[in-house]
Amino acid sequence: MIERRKTRRINIGKVPIGDGAPISVQSMTKTDTRDVGATIAQIRRLAEAGCDIIRCAVPDDKAAGALRYICAESPLPVIADIHFSYKLALLSLESGVQGLRLNPGNLDKPEEIRSVALAALEKRVPIRIGVNAGSLSKGWRDKVHAGECTTPEAMVESAMGHIRLLEEHGFDLIKLALKASDILTTVEAYRLMSGRCDYPFHVGITEAGTSRSGIIKSSIGIGTLLLEGLGDTIRVSLTTDPSEEVYTGIRILQVLGLREAGPELISCPTCGRVEIDLMSLAERVERYLSTEKTPIKVAVMGCVVNGPGEAREADVGIAGGKNQGVVFRKGQIVRRVAEKDLFNALVQEIERIKMERGYLTRL
């Protein structure tokens, strides 16, 4: 079991973060925030995909104003992503956002920081401080360059500076992100920071690349940190449909046992022993399970001889051989069926298990 780092609790709207709360999955809309209809439609799709929290870019006043309508309609709590403008932060708070992403050190004047901190504190709206290795201040870049500190150290110290600017005003509803596109740098930065404060962590690998590479990079980076107990909310950044970000984030949590899995499919890599079309069978089963909510472990194995034993941990499974296959439960063969009937026999057995466990009446 993974032992999670002890942190304070914050709440983004109805979603608790830190202090043992379930690890939430975030994404960011890729629509123009000023287009309320398109943004709401995308948020709804992401909510259906299982997203817990959504972030929207706020490039100008019009976007900050649009957030009023977006927050009113959104099924998910909304975080405003602000770069340098305290006015946009204040406008977003007035619009009803439940979180801000803002680095106070990037604001121009101390009064600006103060006004944002006090307005957010009054509404109990947390602020995420996000330090990116790629956008360290010139001062920190110079220190790294001169060999006076490493990049992870510079990221942590830079974040500590931002934190102090908020704490000065009694503001402690803080969440931290330390992202780099390099996995080792990211992992090391979070490790260092875990010894420096108890604010919850927002974990991700920034600019993780196109879908294929991005999934690999995010899985390693986020997965490694989660295995060490670091991470209270996660975002997978991909240059693709944000549903993919949500799907990947949820799967990362599930494969680490950090989120109830719904159904899980295990299937063997086919090899020269396999006499059936295992790939399309496994894909068919995956499609079937994608609408299934029951936490059930399903195996699709190629080999009648070894398959049931190797997939002993599965609640139910099928293994195929020439012309004939088997259905098994916890490694024990319960039925032999013709190859063409394997899929239907599996579905039947799953329904039977759901009945036995009382899931069907609940559904």
Taking residues 55 to 94 in sequence order and writing x for each that binds its own copies by CB under 8 A, - otherwise, the string is: -xxxx---x-----------------x-x-----------
Using DSSP bridges, classify how beta strands 24-28 and 53-57 pair: parallel, antiparallel or unpaired: parallel
CB of 306 to its own copies, least distance (A): 7
Task: Give the separation between CA 319 and CA 327, rounded to whole angstroms.
Answer: 7
From candidates 7, 103, 194, 224, binder to its own copies by CB under 8 A: 224
Residue 269 sits in the site that holds its own copies (CB under 8 A): yes
φ and ψ of 336, to 5 deg: -110, 135
Residue 134 sits in the site that holds its own copies (CB under 8 A): yes
Residue 149 sits in the site that holds its own copies (CB under 8 A): no
Residue 282 sits in the site that holds its own copies (CB under 8 A): yes
Using DSSP bridges, classify how beta strands 78-81 and 99-101 pair: parallel, antiparallel or unpaired: parallel
DSSP string, 61-89: HHHHHHHHHHHHH-SS-EEEE-SS-HHHH
Sole window of 7-15, 170-178, 204-212, 343-351 interacting with its own copies (rule: CB under 8 A): 204-212
Sole window of 16-24, 299-307, 332-340, 354-362 interacting with its own copies (rule: CB under 8 A): 299-307
Task: Give the separation between CA 73 and CA 210, rounded to whole angstroms.
Answer: 31
Cβ atoms of residues 264 and 292 within 8 Å = no
The four Cα atoms 166, 169, 174, 176 give a dihedral, to 10 degrees, of 10
Taking residues 88 to 117 in sequence order and writing x for each that binds its own copies by CB under 8 A, - otherwise, the string is: ------------------------------
From candidates 265, 326, 327, 350, binder to its own copies by CB under 8 A: 265
Sole window of 10-18, 177-185, 332-340, 342-350 interacting with its own copies (rule: CB under 8 A): 177-185
